[in-house]
Structure formats: structure tokens, C-alpha cells
Amino acid sequence: MASCTECNLCDRPGTLQSARDTGHVPSNVRRFKETVFTLWRCTGCGSIHCAEDADLSSYYANYPPKKRKLTFYERIAYRNRLRLLERHGFRRSMELLDFGCGVGLYVKFLRQAGLTRAFGYDHFVAQYKKPARLSEYFDAVVSYDVIEHADDPRAFLNMVAQRVRRGGLLAIGTPRADGLSISNIGDPALNPPYHRHILSEAALIALAREQALEPVHISRRSPYDSLVPFVNSRFSCRYIQATGGLFDEAVEARPSLLFRSPALLYLAFFGYFVQRKDNMVVLFRKT
């Protein structure tokens, strides 16, 4: 992994030195909360980069999101993801790959939903680190909350695009730099140093078109947004910020926070209507 002081995403790359929007942001993980990183926004494409190098093997060793389980909350988001694919022609008898599947929660959900040909790949999880997957082709590839972790998003898109059959679908879900403020300390979407490059919408689409991928649907909100109380990204973000911006607290959960914060309680029930536009899901078709 390398430091980033020049944008590696666009054809008129900005630099850290010329950036007009910069900030110093601590890690969202309790173990590293005293470590501060420099984030900066490219003047060319608007994407956000983490300037410093970091030994991610040590950062990922006890990464709190790895402790997620297939809860009611997760099932709502996963159902939204599947419905998006189905609205654009995907059928449950087709083959699907979840690239960067982590511990495989989405794969498990899809199998339970009748997708017997749903598979996962993740380089950092032994159960799903099967090189043979990277020589197969699929009717749909999905990758949620992965591309922002890649040192080279262009190379990442090239790799996943190669796994999509012609006419097939690729879904990329990732934070949207256009809707993010670097000065919003504790915002889980910033998440340095795990998030190496947070792409703007224009940057993601431009990189995808290099791989013969055309957008067929763009959503500027999280799949976790729903009308179900407590299941919306606005509430989740405010909850994490209320704990000091730590993912650890989100996994451990402290319901008592709700009763000390009227604003948090309001978002639990009505956060769906307060859009952040700091997340995007772009569905591409391979031409």
C-alpha cells in the first residue's frame, strides 16, 4: 500500500498540495482512535483521498464490521439489493458473485432466498479465498463497500468487470464523495485509513466506462434506508457520531443513548426522509 498525494482517478489529477478542501480525521476504530489521517479532495474529479500510508493488515485484524450478523437490519438492506438486480432483468436461477463478500452474510441471505448459484470471493477470508472464482464468469457481480478500500480503484474495476458476462450486471455500492464533508469528524463514511479513495459519482462512472460498463440505475442513498424504525443510514451515522465516531460502539450497541438524545430518537423513526446523499449504488450493464 502507498501514500496518495496525487489523484489516481481522473485525467486532470489534483494534488494534496493544491487541494482546497483538506482535513485531519481520526480512525473510527477504538484501538486506533488516537491516530489521525489527512484527507483531501481532488480539484479535478472531487474524489476524497487518504494521504498517509498504513499497514492495513494490523488495522483489519480486529475490524468491528467483521462482527456483523445476519440480523433483521441486514436483511432489509440485502432485500433492497436483490430487488434492484431483479428490476433490471436478473433472475434467481442465474449466477451471481459477491466480490469482497467478507464473512459471507449476503451470500448466505441469497442462498436462503433461493439463489443456489450465488457465490462469494474475499481475499482476506479463508473460506472465500478461492482463486478459481477469478477465472469464472457471472450474470451479475455485486461489490458493496469494497472499492473505497482499494489502493487502485481503476484496477479493481477492471478485475470485477472481467467477471461479468456480456450483457450482465455489475452493482457497485460505495460512499459518495459529492455528499461528504471532510470536516464532519466521526462520519463513518470517511473511515480512514480503511477508505483509501472515496470516489465522486462522476469518477466512478468514468472509470466504469473504461471497462465497457454503462450505468442503468443510480441511487444516491444507502440500501439500508427504509421506513422501518431504526433502519436508515441517517440514524446509523448519527448514532455512531454520538458514540464518539467509533464502529466498535455500533456493533456493541448502547440503547441508552436514544433516551439522552431527542435528535437521535427522531432520526430513528423519520431518518428515511432526511437524505444524506453520501452513499451511492450504481448498477452497470456490460456492453
* 147 DSSP assignment: G
We find that the CATH architecture of domain 64-286 is 3-Layer(aba) Sandwich (3.40)
Average pLDDT over residues 221-245: 90
> What mean pLDDT is reported for the chain?
93
The domain segmentation of the chain, as residue ranges, is 64-286
pLDDT per position as a tens digit, 46-79: 999 999 988 887 888 878 877 788 899 899 999 9
- CA gap 125, 63 in Å, rounded: 13
* pLDDT value of position 1: 55
This prediction has a pTM of: 0.94
H or E segment to which residue 73 belongs: helix 72-87
Name residues whose C-beta falls within 8 Å of residue 102's C-beta, 6 or more positions apart in sequence: 65, 66, 68, 122, 125
- CA gap 159, 156 in Å, rounded: 5
pLDDT per position as a tens digit, 155-209: 999 999 999 999 999 999 999 999 999 998 889 999 999 999 999 999 999 999 9
Phi/psi for 44 (5° steps) reads -85, -55
Q: DSSP assignment of 201-269, as one string?
A: HHHHHHHHHTTTEEEEEEE-S-TT--SSTT-SHHHHHHHHHHTTS-HHHHHH--THHHHH-HHHHHHHH
Average pLDDT over residues 262-275: 91
Name residues whose C-beta falls within 8 Å of residue 33's C-beta, 6 or more positions apart in sequence: 26, 27, 244, 246
pLDDT per position as a tens digit, 131-149: 999 999 999 999 999 999 9
